[in-house]
Amino acid sequence: MYSSVFGGITTDPSAMVIPLDDHMVHRGHGVFDTAAIMDGYLYELDQHLDRFIRSATTAKIKLPFDRDSIRRILIQTVSASKCRKGSLRYWLSAGPGDFQLSSSGCHQSALYAIVIQNQSPPDYSGIRVVTSSIPIKPPQFAVMKSVNYLPNALSKMEAEENGAYAAIWLDFDGFIAEGPNMNVAFVTKEKELLMPEFDKILSGCTARRALVLAESLVREGILQNIRVDKVTVEEGKNAVEMMLIGSGVLIRSVVQWDEQVIGDGKEGPVSQALLKLILEDMKSGPASVRVPVPY
């Protein structure tokens, strides 16, 4: 773990703490992001870091260091952990200072980072989802990756209580939005990859990368087109394929939404092809998405 509060990296779990008067703890005034670690490389670190900084700006949290310094700290933290497969999660808070509502009493923002070893085997089998009854965040907060994840947690719990993997949010106009911590995409009967617009939801780095990688499936004739647009529930439930996309799940086929079986009820060929492309990209993609960690 790295903490700017104590000014360094520790590998002692008992020292991996944050102050209780940090406004991220008692007021939720903080942002975060995550980057996957694959075979000693950080996947899409720069893309996630750019989003992290955008979130911080929206949350009115000043960076404690410049971008290059933050990037270097994150890489050094992974290096110190010796983790070669897992994830790097990092937070920027308004900082410790007091227990007031405003962050005006915080002397400086705080940067934290932790490395999480991946100890469970991946599961890419088809899953079931339900429609969330938990209200979605307003766009101003949905597009920012803040630590205010109570709606997300309640949505995920609602899914689990109903024997499903995740719950799908609809926006305030009734269009399909996103999952609790992943994007959603569909393949239509016309072989079109369809993904909801990012204007009211989090701009998923993995989802955007999947859109780029999917262009090869168009060239191969597996897909006819790629479209980012408003998506109705009817379009989604009548699709031949549905999938969740995110840095945690990568690409996960959805075989049932509520009572509606998606396609033939099995993992779809486009979902499987996209998963293969993402995994290949993580292991041997260009330098723009793979940052080596000097162990």
Q: Which of 60, 82, 85, 145 is catalytic?
A: 145
∠ Cα 211 212 214 (to 5°): 65
Q: Spell out where the chain has E strands.
A: 2-3, 8-9, 30-38, 41-43, 85-93, 110-117, 127-131, 166-168, 183-187, 192-196, 225-229, 241-246, 250-257, 260-261, 290-292
d(CA 255, CA 243): 8
The token pair that represents 267 in the structure block: 């993992």
Instruction: Give the residue from 57, 31, 33, 55 showing the smallest Cα distance to 43.
Output: 33
CA 80 to chain centre: 24
165 touches 123 (CB < 8 A): no
d(CA 126, CA 257): 11
For the question of residue 189 being annotated catalytic, the response is no
3-state secondary structure 97-128: CCCCCCHHHCCCCEEEEEEEECCCCCCCCCEE
Q: Which positions are catalytic? A: 145
